[in-house]
Structure 1
Amino acid sequence: MVKLSQYEIEREANIARNRALLEQLELKQAVENLDVPKHKGAAKSTAKPVQPAKRVKRERQEPEAPRRQSARLRKDTFDPDESPSKRQKREQEQRAEEEERLAAEEQARIAKKPRHQKLDLISLTENGPEDASTLSEALESVAQSSGSRHLADPDAFLFDGTQEAAAVKDLKERLQGMKVVSRAKVTQDRIYCAAYHPEVTKDLIFFGDKHGQLGIWDARAQGDEVDEDGDISLVENEGGKYWRLQLHWPASSKSSISSIKLDPTNTHSVYTSSYDCTIRHLSFTTGVSEEIFASSNGELICSIDLTSTGNEMWVSDGAGGATHLDLREKSSKRRRYVLSEQKIGCISINPTRNHFVLTASNSRLLKIWDVRKLQGMKSGTNFTRSSDDGVTTSTLEFDTEVVSKFLESKQGEGCLRGEWRHDKSASSAYWDPRGRQIVSTSYDDTIRLWDLESNLFSSPDLFPNLKPFSRIKHNCQTGKWLTILRAQWTQNPEVYPHFTIANMNHALDIYSCKGDLLARLADPTRISAVQAVTCSHPSIVERAASGNASGRCILWAPQDS
């Protein structure tokens, strides 16, 4: 018999005492059925996700390449007594099969390559001709009624204390009445960027997603209902109408739409930039999307912005470069300047003084450039690129060393007008509509505000002090699965300046240009995700839109609007 250790003897004694105690209390069966207690999780939200409208998805014609197989696997048998004519016929059939297989492989390879040609709405929309027809009607009415927007006065809304307090109070009352009035799953994947069309007769919002899809949402449109007799009637629909256009191809994370900009002078045109290293222009009047730019060395395009005339564009990329395009001349030389050692995630053009350009980069720096000086540089390297349709474009590039030497020279004095270092990466920075204030966001969980007087822009000297006048603590730790939070100014020049930014607590925050919280829009019963991407109407104060990581979007407006 095995001798038990002192520990085992004490253990058996404890088990016997516990068993006797439980039997005495008549809890033996209860103990046998006892499970490990489970931790109580956080209370689940009562909000139900918006279900996308049922629609038949158009099958994309992507030929599947046949797999290679050996003769043994194909179980081909050869007759040793085969006649020469039969052998020749069999070999011809095998050659034809091999040529067909190679052609299918080549066609499949081409189908996965980026598309650089012009594309019409039928080839872009999810359901082909059916979607293209309804979208054309909606865009045609917008193109006929929309015009250019006027510029703001740089010295507007400079009040004394009493007037400013009254303006802020009035704006706060108007914004706090906004509620969720429409919801829809506008795109299939995570929302990366958004733009609000200035049309006042409808709420038309553009969303770009992770897989190169542009969602166009008419948020307050009436839906179609088919009755038992097959007749179609208009009904009120919470989700409005939306269309999905696969602008950038292939439909993968390599084609994420990084920025959307509407032409400031012709609002029937929209520009989109993508991680596929291209920028495309979509015209509402012609219904055609065409490529206007492709980076020469494969730099990821992070952000774009247009001048107030709509004739010029600045493009920032993941290699720290900023490229200038003149949209009036397609064959003109593009000029690319390497302005940062790391990615420039955001670029913004001053709307009232177009030669002042703002950049925010992963090097933690916010910089203000006078690009008139940059355009005077001459010693660059020329890169030429030929597209699939035979169009040749050239880019004159100025690397870091050339730019640094230029800034240190007498000719480059005043080119870099000021800079400010954040504690961590600067994720975004934008000019307000007046072109005098700046708002930036950073991974250091701070929103910063600057106010630059007009006389500083007229002087050729450096800005004497580029210190932010306001710092707002704001959680910007989005992590891997949420789009970076960016503070977006409202583009309405006739209202007291304010901006929108997402809140990690599933709300949308609206701040004044002085850093005061005007409104925090939330609805836990209908929203259960972070509204990471925001934008507001350029003409109507009580309008804002937001989108989350699943492609679902929200329209905020007064309930009775």
Structure 2
Amino acid sequence: MALSQAATSEPEEASPRTRQRMQESTPPGSAALRVSPGPGERRAVAARQLRVLLRPLAVAGRRLPQKRLLGAGGGAAEGSAPAGKRLRPEPGPPKPAPASPPPGSPEGNGWDGAWDAESDGSDAGPEAPADGRSQLSAYERKRLKNITENAKFFAALKLHESAARLQQIATKRQSHVTKSCSRAKPKKAEDETVRRRSMRLQRVEPSGIPVAEVAAQPGAEEYPQVPAGPLPMVPEDEVENSKLREELLTTWMRISEMKAKDPEEHTEHTCDIKRYQESLNSMVLSQENVKKVVKYRVCSMAIHPSESLLFVAAGDKTGQIGLWNVSCRSEEGAHVFVPHSYSVTCMQFSPCNPAHLLSLSTESLRCGDVTRAIFDEICRSEDLSSFDFLEDNACSAIVGYWHGGVAVVDRRTPGTSSELSVDIGFKRTRTVHVHPVNKQYFMAAGSVDVCIYDVRYLKSSGNSPVSSLKGHTKSVASAYFSPVTGSRVVTVCADDKLRIYDTSSLSPTVTALSTIRHNNNTGRWLTRFQAVWDPRREDCFVVGSLARPRQVEVFQDTGKLLHSFSNPDCLSSVCSINGFHPSKNILVGGNSSGRLHVFKEE
């Protein structure tokens, strides 16, 4: 009875060592003599059983994933697959998955057995070393072993020494680049002495000249500097005693000695506009009347008043003046002279002596005298823009400046300075033109200003205009009196309008009589349009056009388009500078490539 009560009552809790000896001495399967575990051991056993229950069930033909033991360096544990590779099942029939160990077996209680050692790394029992690591589990001992082997492997590779050496090299290179960038790069000697220029700017013909030879030449300026003072009348591409030059100058002298007919005899004024249109229709352009007279863009032009033959002068943007005897059918009919250093913006044959050709550039006003074969210098200054004669004998002239002023020049006074320099309050003066009847009046056109002044009352500053032509909103390219009475003025403005003013009575303010819509946007590469009157008429003028096919237009002062000169076979460019012959049915137009086009009756 006492024994049964003792067996049924709960035994006293034994010490851990006592319980371990009792379990080792108790044979398997004899649960009657097993000592009951304490509360701490029961919790450990429950945890192990929970891990076994959560372990995935084995499937036939499929291996359970093995747990890889990694060292500190990320290497695989001993006996496992190399890093980065997956374990593949060995060929052969699939092995059946092991069943879960029974709860009462040693493999199931977590104290021993390979199952629990693989799952959670618990104590491996007799495999534990006898040294100081007896307290470590099998997983920890594996990990320490892998760490030691990985450290030995990396030490054999000497990676630390290589990394330190590379770091040292990178530091030195970075410091060298920083020092190099802090210093300014030395300028190449060839950049200081050689300046690349195109063959066009060097004034070198591209045909027949090797590139190496051109590059060896010293860099030429865009505009060659012409010396001050008189210059011999020698063509640019010929020697002084050339026979061709003598023939050209002789022709010019011969036609200038012939007395020209009175312009009044050829003036048609405003009558019979239909007959005038018929004469315009009879003027045609042929290929033989197109010639390249100067090398570059035509900026000004003058037609000799002779009726015996047609003689034309053209000035380009580099200071060249080309003389062309249109009546001469040979290739030597045109010759080029260089009396200026900059663009020739204005040219006129002397009204009293056509043997004199006056030309103006930015730096000087010169007179080409064919009788002496010399280009004499009349006025030398800066920023000259245009000129016109104040007298019929062409002894004095009014000169405009790009900076806005004007000056009076007298050819009879020794020296090359002006007689009077005047500030008229303009920002820019593009053209000046003298009244054809009342020579004391002249008109100046500038930014948005077109005013008429009396030369007799000019003073250094504080000048008031006699009349102002209002209505312009942008810069004015030109303004000219009608050729016979001066009762009309035509202007070309950048606001794409042509304006005609009635100046028969010079009132203080004059408004436009008629306005013509006209595309004047010539841009940078074309010479700005200038509308000039037909010398034989008082009511008709000619102006260039941007329309296609290329043409030159003639308008009436009422705004009516009378005629358009065109020829698709011979005229394929814009003629910005145009002019009529003083007494014949001839029109000459110049384009931006240095060519002149002559429309005349057949």
Give the TM-score of the pair, scaled to structure 2: 0.59
Superposed CA RMSD in Å reads: 3.0
Aligned counterpart, 1:324: 408
- Aligned equivalent of 2:212: none
Question: Using a 3 Å threshold, how does the CA distance of structure 1 residues 66 and 242 change in structure 2: closer, same or farther?
Answer: closer
The residue type paired with residue 440 of structure 1 is T
Q: Give the conservation status (yes or no) of the 8 Å contact 1:365–1:421.
A: no
The answer (yes or no) to whether the contact 1:485–1:501 under 8 Å persists in 2 is yes
Give the 3-state SS of the residue equivalent to 2:515 in structure 1. strand
In the alignment, what sits opposite 1:342?
A: 427
Could you tell which deviates more after superposition, 117-126 or 507-516? 117-126
Look up the match of 1:101: none
Q: What is the CA deviation profile of residues 149-175 of structure 1, one whole-angstrom value per residue up to 9, with x for unaligned ones?
A: 557999x947xxxxx5xx111101110
Distance 1:546 1:294, change over 3 A: same
In structure 2, what residue type is equivalent to 1:195?
A: A
User: Any conservation in 1 of the 2:467–2:510 contact (CA below 8 Å)?
Assistant: no
- 1:135 maps to amino acid: L
Q: CA–CA distance in 2 between the matches of 1:334 and 1:496? A: 33
Shift of residue 466, structure 1, vs aligned partner: 0.4
Unaligned stretches of 5+ residues in structure 2: 1-204, 209-214
Aligned partners of 2:361 and 2:385 also within 8 Å: yes
Aligned to 1:291: 377
The amino acid that maps onto 1:187 is: V
CA distance in 2, matches of 1:66, 1:517: 52
The answer to whether the aligner puts 1:144 opposite 2:257 as a matched pair is yes
Structure 1 residues 262-411: aligned runs within 5 Å: 262-275=349-362, 277-295=363-381, 298=382, 300-307=383-390, 308-331=392-415, 334-362=419-447, 364-374=448-458, 377=459, 398=460, 402-403=461-462, 407=464
Distance 1:530 1:515 in 2: 21
Distance 1:514 1:146 in 2: 35
Normalised by the size of structure 1, how large is the TM-score?
A: 0.63
Displacement of 1:451: 1.9
Q: Alignment partner for residue 588 of structure 2, among 542, 545, 551?
A: 545
Q: Is the 8 A contact 2:304 2:349 kept in 1?
A: yes
CA contact (8 A) 1:126 1:245 kept: no
Residue 201 (1) aligns with residue 308 (2): yes
Q: 1:132 corresponds to which letter in structure 2?
A: R
Q: CA deviation at 1:504?
A: 0.8
CA separation of 1:125/1:288 partners in 2, compared to 1, >3 Å: closer, same or farther?
farther
Give the length in aligned residue pairs.
Answer: 383
The answer on 1:173 being equivalent to 2:278 is yes
Identity of aligned residues (%): 23
Describe the shift of the 1:534–1:66 C-alpha distance in structure 2 as closer, same or farther (beyond 3 A).
Answer: closer
CA positional deviation for 1:126: 4.5
Deviation at 1:335, TM superposition (A): 0.6
Rounded to whole Å, the distance in 1 between the matches of 2:229 and 2:305 is: 29
Conserved? CA contact 2:263–2:583, under 8 Å:
no
Q: Provide the C-alpha distance between the structure 1 equivalents of 2:238 and 2:318, rounded to a whole number of angstroms.
A: 14
Distance 1:153 1:418, change over 3 A: farther
Once the two structures are TM-superposed, the CA of residue 496 in structure 1 deviates from its matched residue by 5.1
Between the aligned partners of 1:326 and 1:280, the Cα distance in structure 2 is 13
Aligned equivalents of 1:469, 1:153: Cα separation in 2 = 27
Question: Cα–Cα, structure 1 residues 157 and 257, in superposed 2: closer, same or farther, change >3 Å?
Answer: closer
- 5 Å-filtered alignment, 1:153-192, equals 157=269, 164=271, 167-181=272-286, 182-192=289-299
Residues of 2 paired with 1:290 and 1:273: CA distance? 12
Q: Which of the two has higher C-alpha Rg?
A: 2
Distance across 2 between alignment mates of 1:153 and 1:202: 17
- Give 3-state SS (helix, strand or coil) of 2:254's partner: helix
Asked which structure has the greater RCO (Cα within 8 Å, sep 6+), the reply is 1
Query: Of 326, 335, 338, which residue of structure 2 is paired with 1:243?
Result: 335
Measure how far apart 1:120 and its partner are: 1.8
SS of aligned partner of 2:569: coil
Residue of structure 1 in register with 2:247 after alignment: 134
Q: Which residue, 547, 556, 580 being the options, matches 1:536? A: 580
Distance of 1:548 and 1:289 partners within structure 2? 25
Shift of 1:138: 1.4
Which of 553, 563, 572 is the aligned partner of 1:519? 563
Q: Which amino acid aligns with 2:324?
A: W
Show the counterpart of 2:521: 477
Q: After superposition, what is the alpha-carbon deviation per residue over 1:365-415, rounded to whole angstroms, capped at 9, x for unaligned?
A: 1111112111xx3xxxxxxxxxxxxxxxxxxxx2xxx32xx54xxxxxxx5
**Amino acid paired to 2:234:** I
Counterparts of 1:501-520 in structure 2, within 5 Å, are 501-505=543-547, 506-520=550-564
SS of residue matched to 1:136: helix
Alpha-carbon shift at residue 113 of structure 1 (Å): 3.8
Shift of 1:205: 1.0
Structure 1 counterpart of 2:594, which letter? G
Q: Deviations over 1:260-302 (max 9, x none)?
A: 0111111111111112x1111001222111111011xx3x111
CA contact (8 A) 2:466 2:508 kept: no
AA aligned to 1:282 is: G
**Within 5 Å, which residues of 2 pair with 1:253-268?**
255-268=342-355
Change (3 A) 1:191 1:448: same
For 1:545, the aligned partner's letter is V
The 1:445–1:341 alpha-carbon spacing in structure 2 relative to 1, beyond 3 Å, is same
Query: For residues 496 and 113 of structure 1, what CA distance do their matches in structure 2 show?
Result: 41
Are the counterparts in 2 of residues 116 and 290 from structure 1 also a CA contact under 8 Å? no
Q: Gaps (5+ residues) in structure 1?
A: 1-53, 58-63, 68-104, 159-163, 225-239, 250-254, 378-397, 408-414, 458-462
In structure 1, what residue type is equivalent to 2:375?
S
SS class of match (2:510): coil
Shift of the 360–515 alpha-carbon distance from structure 1 to 2, 3 Å rule, reads same
